[in-house]
Amino acid sequence: MLLTVVIFLPLVAAGALLAARRLSGRAAIGLWVAVSAVDLALVGWMWWRFEPGEGASGVVDGLAYEVDLQWIPTVDAGYRIGVDGLSLPLLALTGVLFLACAIYSLREPDRPHTYAALFLFLQTACLGTFASLDLILFFVFFDLSIVGMYFVIAGWGHGNARRSALKFFLYTFIGSLALLVGFIGLFLGSEERTLRDMVALAENPPLADCPVAGGLVLLAIGLGLAVKTPLFPFHTWLPDAHTDAPAAGSAVLAGILLKLGTYGFVRIAMPILPEAWQRWAMVAVVVGVISVLWGAFVALAQIDVKRMIAYTSVNHMGYVLLGLGSAGLVASADEGARTVATVGAMYQMVSHGLLTGALFLLSGVLWSRGRTYAFDRWGGLARPAPVFAACLAVAAFGSLGLPGFSGFIAEFQVFTGALQAAPVATVLAVVGILVTAGLFLLALQRLLTGDTVVPSETDPDETGEGPASERTDGGTAIATQPRTATRMADLRGHEVASIVPLLVLALVFGVLPRALLDVLEPAAMAVVELVSR
């Protein structure tokens, strides 16, 4: 029951918020903060009691907190949930990031009741996806996350928010339909004729004696998950959705929703279709490397800080697929190397959620102060906003893989494990590290150093809606137009309380990785063993 409470507590709170319209806006956001904190505390209690490797069977090692209830008997679908070393870190990441977004949104002025209720609904959808052990249940929660994020972007975004939200919905919904087709293929190809039990499907893989059908089912599932992740060339919805979404929406979209796709690869595609994954693993490696390089080089060309961060997500998710693809190259690498690559991919999911979530919240600070993300409208912010500058620098250094941060642990393991299996692809992917380092250092130089540049309250920006700039050179104000300019305010208390813990966790997992590796490694070993059959 504990896991069910964790999943549905936010949904119950969302319903209560929509019913209690007499609550003030601040009280509504406060309730969101309190519910998210309680939910995270429950996940923390589950982590404390979880023992990796105990009760090994099925999809991965050490399933715990299982619930199994019949739902649709004609297709043997049920409400089956559980926790293991794959899902527990992502459940915890979901709790941490939604709490950070709740705190960040304490001063949200626009329809705070509905805003908080939507995020609580999203939290239930994400938690349910990570906990599902039934394919139909996974699909239901997976699709509900699309609906929730659509309304967040369309209702509270800016710029071309409705167009971007529609593009996001259409892309990801079509991807989810491909995923459903793949699940139907698994049902028809399994001896058990079940959608209810990922454990049974992994123990007795369907379509093992039919390579063509297995490849087609993997293609359908892979397309659905690739759109959600997103991977090249299915990533084109991502920059627009991120640029026009509110800061908290972007943080959840990058930090959690993208992981629904990569989690689907390691939870469903790899263990349930091991032979097909082995045959097509090199395709996954190639797509991963292209995503790494494409995301890095396109991010380098951006003139908009938020769009740049969005493209780095394509880059980082490419590392995940590189690691998971390497796990399927059984003939090219030993089990130890493939396990290291898989652990690195899973570690990257958590690291990316923390660091990119912090980066998007920081970009939201720029929007709240000046209504623009354009690099040329900001500069020299280290002087008027030293706390913002310090947090941005820490997040950027963590994202580029500096030693001491979680990103370094993740990428080092991906490269170490993949080098034996796919040496050429791994060397090419290292180029992405160099480009990522360059683009983040260039962004820090543009935003934090030089003369102070802050947008004014009234001058139009490049879109005709935002402010212009004021430049300070040697203490003398030189306005680009003769209008009053604003001063860049540093991070406020609720912004510090939402962003700094994410950076601290990224540092903790970079210095003390065993806290996370002890949970991930047994699960990764079990997945690699299942793929190797």
Query: pLDDT tens, 73-87?
Result: 887 788 999 999 999
The closest alpha carbon to 447, from 321, 359, 355, 529, belongs to 359
DSSP secondary structure code for residue 206 in this structure: T
What pLDDT, on the 0 to 100 scale, is given for residue 62?
65
Q: Pull the structure tokens for residue 341.
A: 């690559």
List the chain domain ranges.
2-450+492-531
Compare 80 and 458 and report the one with higher pLDDT: 80
Q: What is the CA radius of gyration of the chain?
A: 23
**For residue 450, pLDDT beyond 80:** yes
What pLDDT, on the 0 to 100 scale, is given for residue 68?
86
In this structure, the number of other CB atoms found within 10 A of the CB of residue 511 comes to: 13
Q: 35 φ, ψ to 5°? A: -65, -40
What pLDDT, on the 0 to 100 scale, is given for residue 224?
93
Query: pLDDT tens, 21-69?
Result: 778 878 899 999 999 999 999 999 999 998 876 433 334 446 889 888 8
**For residue 331, pLDDT beyond 50:** yes
473, β-bridge pairs: 476
pLDDT band at 335 (very low <50, low <70, confident <90, very high): confident
21 CB burial (10 A radius; 0-12, 13-18, 19+): exposed
Q: How many angstroms separate the CA atoms of 285 and 506, rounded? A: 26
DSSP secondary structure code for residue 376 in this structure: G
What pLDDT, on the 0 to 100 scale, is given for residue 342?
95
What pLDDT, on the 0 to 100 scale, is given for residue 206?
85
**For residue 411, pLDDT beyond 90:** yes
pLDDT band at 180 (very low <50, low <70, confident <90, very high): very high
DSSP 418-433: HHHH-HHHHHHHHHHH
Helices (DSSP H) in 204-273: which residue ranges? Answer: 211-228, 237-244, 247-252, 258-264, 270-272
